């Protein structure tokens, strides 16, 4: 079992729809959770961090964390073609390193 | 302010050669991380520095890989006797302190070993 799992996709949504990206993790001691966006040929860009159970909203993005289910998700409202990218889920335990999933490719079609 | 910078942006070398990759973190960030990313995969942790010392080097694949951060700022990742399997994008990230903080990535160095 991988430590952090994501569906590789592609996830295709029409412009203006809600995109829902999901991630599960295996280490119950994980404390910090992050979503990065990565455009093709570029490096990961941090878009959301979440540390406690529940929802965290930032503009069109909402991160959701459920530690009991070891599940974290990212919702993108009013999806735009410019949101088309790979979204990486990353989990940090009690050490400094991040453990990444393989990423989910999102395609937003005009 | 300036973000994380990495040099070179691209490096092509021959099998068996030695390479050095450099990372300059965000000013004031005490923690620095190296990851590598292969096509279609998420970044894979290599090593983490807190100040000048390596706090966790558990991700270094073998003893051909070594990293230093002598003054607690710039870091150099060194790869000896390069192999074709070392070809990847090497990413550097920094954070303000360490354990809980958000990490910000540099643009990466694409290493190609022929």
Q: Is-contact A51 B100, C-beta < 8 A?
A: yes
Identify all chain A residues contacting B35, using CB atoms and an 8 Å cutoff: 98, 100
Taking CB atoms and an 8 Å limit, are B99 and A103 in contact across chains? no
Tell me the residues of A at the B interface, defined by beta carbons under 8 Å apart.
4, 8, 31-32, 34, 36, 42-46, 49, 51, 88, 90, 92, 94-103
Taking CB atoms and an 8 Å limit, are A46 and B103 in contact across chains? yes
What pLDDT is attached to residue B46?
98
**Over residues A62-77, mean pLDDT:** 97
Q: Mind listing the pLDDT tens digit for each residue in A25-64?
A: 999 989 899 999 999 999 999 999 999 999 999 999 999 9
Q: Which residue has the tokens 């070392």?
A: B86
Q: Mind listing the pLDDT tens digit for each residue in B64-90?
A: 999 999 999 999 999 999 999 999 999
**Over residues B7-29, mean pLDDT:** 97
């Amino acid at each position: 079992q991988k430590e952090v799992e994501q569906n590789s996709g592609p996830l295709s949504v029409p412009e203006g729809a809600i995109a829902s990206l999901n991630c599960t993790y295996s280490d119950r001691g994980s404390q910090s959770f992050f979503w990065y966006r990565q455009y093709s040929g570029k490096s990961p860009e941090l878009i959301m961090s979440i540390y406690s159970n529940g929802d965290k909203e930032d503009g069109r993005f909402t991160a959701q964390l459920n530690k009991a289910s070891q599940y974290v998700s990212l919702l993108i409202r009013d999806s735009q073609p410019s949101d088309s990218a790979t979204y990486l889920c990353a989990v940090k335990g009690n050490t400094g390193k991040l453990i990444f999933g393989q990423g989910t490719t999102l395609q937003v079609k005009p | 302010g300036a973000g994380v910078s990495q040099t070179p942006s691209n490096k092509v070398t021959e099998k068996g050669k030695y390479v050095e990759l450099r990372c300059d973190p965000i000013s004031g960030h005490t923690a620095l991380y190296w990851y590598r990313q292969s096509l279609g995969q998420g970044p894979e942790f290599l090593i983490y520095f807190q100040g000048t010392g390596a706090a966790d080097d558990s991700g270094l694949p073998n003893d051909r890989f070594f990293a230093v951060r002598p003054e607690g700022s710039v870091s150099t990742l060194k790869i000896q006797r390069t192999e074709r399997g070392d070809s990847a994008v090497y990413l550097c990230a920094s954070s303000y302190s360490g354990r809980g903080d958000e990490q910000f990535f540099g643009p990466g160095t694409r290493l190609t070993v022929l």
